[in-house]
Structure 1
């Protein structure tokens, strides 16, 4: 008898600001790609107590979304949806942006 497969989830919903944006680049397949640095601040409840949270996160957007974010001002407030993956060098977490909300 095999164990039932457990569902896995990898979805991030985040309010954030763009703090750094690199130049628009293109993948070998010709797809636009944009590397960003994002900043998030909020207050959440943990163990029944409010907690201030702040973090910076590396992110990437692909395709038309990369072009759109390439025209977005630094400091712009965004709400976005994405998923987490490894950085290219495998030494950190990278947010892959898939939708602006």
Structure 2
């Protein structure tokens, strides 16, 4: 699971945005994710796809990741 939290400005008003999404990683991204230390802010690159052919829910497929700092 990935958790994202940020603040954006919409129509001139600050807005808190939070979301949690199921995520999967394969190949090199999987190995890097497995050794990832908790609390390190990370930039994830990937794509959204249905969890399964007939599913209505989405899963974020991680194709690359990059450290962007500590909490």
Under a length normalisation based on structure 1, what TM-score does the superposition of the two structures give? Answer: 0.57
Q: Which runs of 5+ in 1 are unaligned?
A: 1-36
Structure 1 residue 75 and structure 2 residue 34: aligned?
Answer: no
Deviation >2 Å, runs of 4+: 73-76
Residue 69 of structure 2 corresponds to none
Shift of residue 92, structure 1, vs aligned partner: 0.8
Deviations 1:16-36 (A, max 9, x none): xxxxxxxxxxxxxxxxxxxxx
Report 1:9-88 matches (<5 A).
37-88=1-52
Moved more, 74-83 or 44-53: 74-83
Give the length in aligned residue pairs: 65
Shift of residue 38, structure 1, vs aligned partner: 0.7
Shift of residue 50, structure 1, vs aligned partner: 1.0
Indicate the structure with greater helix content: 2
Let me know the Cα RMSD of the aligned residues: 1.6
Go from structure 1 to structure 2 and tell me whether the alpha carbon gap of 1:53 and 1:87 turns closer, same or farther (over 3 Å shift).
same
Residue 58 of structure 2 corresponds to 93
Shift of residue 87, structure 1, vs aligned partner: 1.0
